[in-house]
Amino acid sequence: MVIALALSLWCLHPVPAAWALVAAYGLGWLGMNALVALRPELAELSLSRPQAIALFALLLVPPVTVLVRHGSELLTEESLVGFGENVRDHLRLERTPAIAPPVVVTDEPQTFYVYAPDARQVEVRLGPTAKMRAAVELGAGLFRLDYDPQKDGEPQAGEGATQAILRVDGKSVERTLTVVRPRAHPRWLRPSPDRKLACTVSEETDALLVVSSDGDALRTHVGDGPTDCAFVTSGEVAVVHQFDDSLWLVDAKSGSVLQKSRVGDFAARLAVSPSGRRLAIALDGVRRGVVSVAVPSLRVEAFSPLEVSPDWIAFGADDDTLVVSSRRPAELLRLRGKDGRYRIGGAPLVLGYPAVTVARVPGGKQLLVATTDYRPEGGPNPGNHFIQDQILTVDVDAFRVVRQWLTARRSARQSHPGDVDEGVSPMGLDAEADGSLAIAFAGTDEVWQVRAGEPTPRVYPLDELPLASPHGIVRFADGNLLVSSPPDGTLGVLGPGGQLRTLVRLAPDDDTLLRSDPDALERRMGEHDFYESTRSGVSCQSCHLHAGSDGALHDLGEHRLSPTSTVRGVAGTAPYLRDASYPRVRDLDELSRTLYRGFLRAAPGRAETLEAYVDGLPRLPSPLRPADRDLARERAGVRAFVKARCATCHAFPAFTNLGQHPLASIFPDRADAHAPDRAGARAPDDVIDTPSLLSVRWAAPYLNDGRAPTLRSVIEAWNPTNHHGDTAHLTARERDDLLYFLESL
C-alpha cells in the first residue's frame, strides 16, 4: 500500500529522477502512518487476497501509465540506459575461461583469444560442426586461436547463437557466440575494353561475376576473399585476393582459370596499364607496396615498397606512371618507374580527407577522385561533423586538382530548408573518352549521367528498386547502365532512361530472408541505413568508410577534434564513442534524428537495424598468417604487455575492461583546468573510454585526440608521465616486442 501510494503521489508531478521517487516513497510512508494515527482501526483492517490485489492494482493504474510514458526519461536521467547490456558484456568477459571477440563469420579467416588463467592447454570448437582446434599458448593465461572456416569447418548450418566448446586442461565449458553468414556483396564494377561486358567480385562469397548488357551473368568461384578484378583483354579477367596470395587469370566466357601467379596476400586494388602489358597490384599486408606483373606471362617484375597503406591505384598516360591513394595520410602519391620498378616522384598531393573512390579518365591524363572534403592545407575542417561530398579532377602530369565539383544538392523533394537529398556519397565513377561520366550515389540511392556538352546531369532514382546503396556503375557501349548494390546483393541493368531492364540477384530477396533468416534481413536493412544520407548530407559512411575509419580528425562539438573510430568488431564492448557517452549502438541514432535532421526516408526500427548491422561486423584481420608469426616474439610481447601493466585496463581476452577513466588520471599532461574558458581544451574530469586493442594496427591515428600517428609514438612520445601504462620501465627490446604483439592482434 505504501509503494502504491508513493507511486500515485509521484504521478501527480512525475519528475523523471530517482530522488523524486524516493521523496514520493517518503511522503507515502508518512501519509500512511498519519492515516493510521488518525484512524487506528485501519491497523486492524483485514482484506481478502482478491480484495487486496484489486485495490493494489487500482492504485497502480495511474503511476504505471506515467512510468510507461516517462520511463525512458527516467532511465536516461539515472544513466541506466543499456545497463543490462553492459552487465552482460562484463559477465561474458569476466567469466573465465573467456573468449573474444563474440562474433564468428563464415567467410574469412579470424583470430580469437581465450583467457584461461593457470591453464596449460586450451582447445576450442567454435560450434557443433567446426573442428576442435588447439589454441596457441602466449603466456599470462592468454591463448590464441586461428580459425579458417574453409579449413576448420563452419560453426553451424545456420546463423544466430552457437555454443563454443572451450576445453581447458581436459575440462569442457560452453560459451555463447554469434554466427554471422554474409551474403553476396558485389561492389565496384570494371568495364571490358569494348564495353560489352563488366566484372565485379563478391569478397564474402569468393565469386567473380561477369555481366553483359543483356543481364547475362557468369559466376565463377575464385580464391579466398577477392578484392578487385579488371579486364586484361576483352575475354580475360584478372582477380586479386585478400587471403589468397595468387593473382588469377580467368576466361570471361567460360569461367575457367587460365593461369595463376603468386603475388602476395592482402591485395587491395588492381590496375591494368595503358598498353595492356602490365598489371599493378597494391598490397596492404606485412609488405606494403606495389607489385608489377608482366602480361601475358604473369611474371612478377618487381615489388616497390611504400611507407603508407595503398588504397586505390591507377595508371597515368603510360605504363611508367602510377597514382596511389592512401587514407592515412589522406593523399595521392605519384610513382614513376621503369621496367616495373616504381619510386615516389615529387611531393604528394594532399587531399585532407581520403579518396572514397578513384576513376581513370581514358587517356590517363586525368583522374577523378571522390572525397568527403578537400583540405589541401592538410588540417581538419573546423565545422561540427562537417562533410562536403565532391568529385575532384586531378591533372596527373601537373599533379594538382584542376576542378572541384560539389555533388550534394537540394531538390524539390526536400521537406525543410537546407535539406540535402541528392548527390550524397558518390561511390562509383565511370568516365568515358568523350567526357561523359556516370556516378552512383550510395547515400541517396541514385545514379547520374553527365553527358558531354549537357549543363545538368540526368538523375535516375533507385529508391524504389532493389539496388540500395549503389557502389559500382558502368555504361555499356549500347548506352545501358550496370549498377551494383552490396546490401541487396544485386546487379541491375538500366536502360538509357533509367528504367530497370534486368535484375541479377546474387542473394535472397527481402521476402525470402524474412521467412528463412530474419536476422540477415535486419542486418541488410541496417547496412542500407549505414550508407543512407541524412537530410544534412551526412551518413555513417561519410566518416566510417565501409564501417572502417577514414583516418581523419573531425570536430565532434565544442571544437574538440577526435579521430574516427572503426565500427568493425565493436559488438560486446559497450559503451561507445571515445567518451563512452552512448551505452548502446542503437542510441547513436539520436545523432541522426537531432544533429543531422533525420534520414531521407522514414523507417521504423532504424536504430535496431543499424545496431544489428554493426554488431555483425568482424574485426579487421591481422596481416600475419599463422605460419608467419614469430611465436617467441609474440610471447615476449605478452610479457612486456603485462610488465607495463597494460592488461590492467586492456584486459584479456577482449583487450578492454569496458571501463572509463577521467582524462587526468591517464594523461594528466593533456588535461586543462581552464578548459571551460578555452574552446577545444580537455577538462580534467573529461571521461575517456578504454578501447579494445584488437585490430589496433588499423586504428591510426591513436589516442582520444589522434595526436599519436603510430603505435610506437603512443608508448614512446605520448606517455611522458608514465600514467598510460608503465612503459618507462621497458627496455628498448621489450618495447619492440610489445609493438610486435600489438600489431599482430
Return the minimum-mean-pLDDT range out of 190-194, 228-232, 656-660.
656-660
Q: What is the pLDDT of residue 227?
A: 97
Pairing outcome for strands 98-100 and 437-441: unpaired
Q: What is the pLDDT of residue 728?
A: 95
Q: Is the pLDDT of residue 630 over 60?
A: yes
The rounded distance, in Å, linking the Cα atoms of 122 and 239 is: 38
pLDDT tens for each residue of 441-476: 999 999 999 988 788 899 999 989 999 999 999 999
Domain boundary among 165, 180, 195: 180
Q: Quick one: average pLDDT of 269-282? A: 97
Picking from 53, 143, 3, the residue whose alpha carbon sits closest to that of residue 638 is: 143
Residue 726 carries which side chain, given as an amino acid letter? D
Please indicate, yes or no, whether residues 646 and 728 belong to a single structural domain of this protein.
yes
All three cell numbers of 411, joined, read: 531538390
Percent of the chain with pLDDT over 70: 96
Q: What is the pLDDT of residue 681?
A: 54
Q: Is the pLDDT of residue 654 over 60?
A: yes
Please indicate, yes or no, whether residues 168 and 76 belong to a single structural domain of this protein.
no
Residue 537 lies in a domain: no
Q: What is the pLDDT of residue 676?
A: 44
Confidence class for position 385, pLDDT limits 50, 70, 90:
confident
Please list, in sequence order, all residues whose beta carbon lies within 8 angstroms of the beta carbon of residue 672, skipping any fewer than 6 positions away: 678, 681, 682, 683, 684
Q: What is the pLDDT of residue 519?
A: 95
All three cell numbers of 240, joined, read: 586479386
Confidence class for position 432, pLDDT limits 50, 70, 90:
very high
The rounded distance, in Å, linking the Cα atoms of 25 and 356 is: 58
Q: Quick one: average pLDDT of 339-354? A: 94
* Number of other residues whose CB lies within 10 A of the CB of residue 386: 16
Q: What is the pLDDT of residue 80?
A: 65
The rounded distance, in Å, linking the Cα atoms of 720 and 667 is: 9
Residue 206 carries which side chain, given as an amino acid letter? D
Enumerate the β-bridge partners of residue 278: 294
- Is there a contact between 536 and 446 (Cβ–Cβ < 8 Å)? no
Q: Is the pLDDT of residue 20 over 80?
A: no
The rounded distance, in Å, linking the Cα atoms of 568 and 582 is: 17
Q: What is the pLDDT of residue 55?
A: 78
Q: Quick one: average pLDDT of 665-669? A: 88
The rounded distance, in Å, linking the Cα atoms of 189 and 473 is: 6
* Higher local confidence (pLDDT), 487 or 589: 487
Please indicate, yes or no, whether residues 8 and 74 belong to a single structural domain of this protein.
yes
Q: Quick one: average pLDDT of 148-176? A: 96
Picking from 292, 312, 308, the residue whose alpha carbon sits closest to that of residue 300 is: 292
Please list, in sequence order, all residues whose beta carbon lies within 8 angstroms of the beta carbon of residue 310, skipping any fewer than 6 positions away: 268, 269, 282, 283, 284, 288, 289, 290, 324, 325, 326
The rounded distance, in Å, linking the Cα atoms of 406 and 389 is: 6
Out of 27-36, 249-258, 548-557, give the one with best mean pLDDT. 249-258
Enumerate the β-bridge partners of residue 482: 474, 493
End-to-end Cα separation, the chain, in angstroms: 58
Please list, in sequence order, all residues whose beta carbon lies within 8 angstroms of the beta carbon of residue 339, skipping any fewer than 6 positions away: 301, 302
Q: Which domain holds residue 172?
A: 91-180
DSSP run (H or E) holding 439: strand 437-441
Residue 238 lies in a domain: no
Residue 613 lies in a domain: no
Question: Where are the alpha helices (H) located in 270-334, listed in sequence order?
Answer: none
pTM over 0.85: yes
Q: Is the pLDDT of residue 202 over 90?
A: yes
Please list, in sequence order, all residues whose beta carbon lies within 8 angstroms of the beta carbon of residue 52, skipping any fewer than 6 positions away: none
Please indicate, yes or no, whether residues 74 and 105 belong to a single structural domain of this protein.
no
- Residue 643 main-chain phi, psi, to 5 deg: -60, -40
Residue 505 lies in a domain: no
The rounded distance, in Å, linking the Cα atoms of 655 and 642 is: 12
Domain boundary among 152, 180, 208: 180
3-state helix, strand, coil in the chain (%, to 5): 25, 30, 45
Strands, sheet with 257-262, edge to edge from the N-terminal-most edge strand: 226-233, 236-241, 246-251, 257-262
pLDDT tens for each residue of 60-108: 777 777 777 777 676 666 666 667 788 889 999 999 999 999 999 999 9
Q: What is the pLDDT of residue 81?
A: 63
The rounded distance, in Å, linking the Cα atoms of 584 and 721 is: 33
Length of the chain in terms of residues written:
745
DSSP run (H or E) holding 82: none
CA 68, distance to chain mean position in Å, is: 35
- Is there a contact between 389 and 406 (Cβ–Cβ < 8 Å)? yes
All three cell numbers of 720, joined, read: 611522458
Please indicate, yes or no, whether residues 670 and 717 belong to a single structural domain of this protein.
yes
Confidence class for position 556, pLDDT limits 50, 70, 90:
confident
Helix 18-38 vs helix 2-12: crossing angle, to nearest 10: 120
Picking from 388, 485, 477, the residue whose alpha carbon sits closest to that of residue 436 is: 477
Question: Where are the alpha helices (H) located in 95-252, listed in sequence order?
Answer: 149-152
Confidence class for position 655, pLDDT limits 50, 70, 90:
very high
Q: Is 646 helix (H, G, I), strand (E, B) or coil?
A: helix
Confidence class for position 225, pLDDT limits 50, 70, 90:
very high
Q: What is the pLDDT of residue 677?
A: 42
Q: Is the pLDDT of residue 51 over 90?
A: no
Task: List the CATH number of the domain containing 692.
Answer: 1.10.760.10
Please indicate, yes or no, whether residues 735 and 677 belong to a single structural domain of this protein.
yes
Please indicate, yes or no, whether residues 643 and 728 belong to a single structural domain of this protein.
yes
Residue 637 lies in a domain: yes
Residue 730 lies in a domain: yes
Domain boundary among 80, 114, 147: 80
Please indicate, yes or no, whether residues 74 and 104 belong to a single structural domain of this protein.
no
Cβ burial of 417 (10 Å; 0-12, 13-18, 19+) is exposed
Please indicate, yes or no, whether residues 172 and 125 belong to a single structural domain of this protein.
yes
Q: Is the pLDDT of residue 183 over 80?
A: yes
Residue 682 lies in a domain: yes
Confidence class for position 593, pLDDT limits 50, 70, 90:
confident
Q: Which segments of 520-678 are extended strands (E)?
A: 553-555, 561-563, 660-662
Please list, in sequence order, all residues whose beta carbon lies within 8 angstroms of the beta carbon of residue 107, skipping any fewer than 6 positions away: 149, 181, 182, 203, 204, 205, 206, 225
Q: Quick one: average pLDDT of 659-664? A: 89
* Number of other residues whose CB lies within 10 A of the CB of residue 165: 16
297, HSE (Cβ side, Cα atoms, 13 Å): 6
Percent of the chain with pLDDT over 90: 72
The rounded distance, in Å, linking the Cα atoms of 198 and 207 is: 14
Give the C-alpha distances (Å, rounded to integers) separating 49 from 1, 36, 45, 57, 504.
13, 21, 13, 12, 66
Please indicate, yes or no, whether residues 107 and 137 belong to a single structural domain of this protein.
yes
Q: Is 658 helix (H, G, I), strand (E, B) or coil?
A: coil
Please indicate, yes or no, whether residues 124 and 75 belong to a single structural domain of this protein.
no
Q: What is the pLDDT of residue 383?
A: 80
Residue 96 lies in a domain: yes
What is the C-alpha R_g of the chain? Answer: 29
Mean residue pLDDT of the chain comes to: 91
- Is there a contact between 216 and 222 (Cβ–Cβ < 8 Å)? no
Please indicate, yes or no, whether residues 125 and 28 belong to a single structural domain of this protein.
no
Enumerate the β-bridge partners of residue 325: 332
Q: What is the pLDDT of residue 247?
A: 98
- Is there a contact between 535 and 596 (Cβ–Cβ < 8 Å)? yes
Task: List the CATH number of the domain containing 145.
Answer: 2.60.40.10
Look at the chain and report how many structural domains it folds into. Answer: 3
Q: Write out 222-276 in H/E/C secondary structure.
A: CCCCEEEEEEEECCEEEEEECCCCEEEEEECCCCCEEEEEECCCCEEEEEECCCC
Q: What is the pLDDT of residue 605?
A: 93
Picking from 266, 302, 151, 225, the residue whose alpha carbon sits closest to that of residue 625 is: 266
Q: What is the pLDDT of residue 682?
A: 63
Q: What is the pLDDT of residue 47?
A: 77
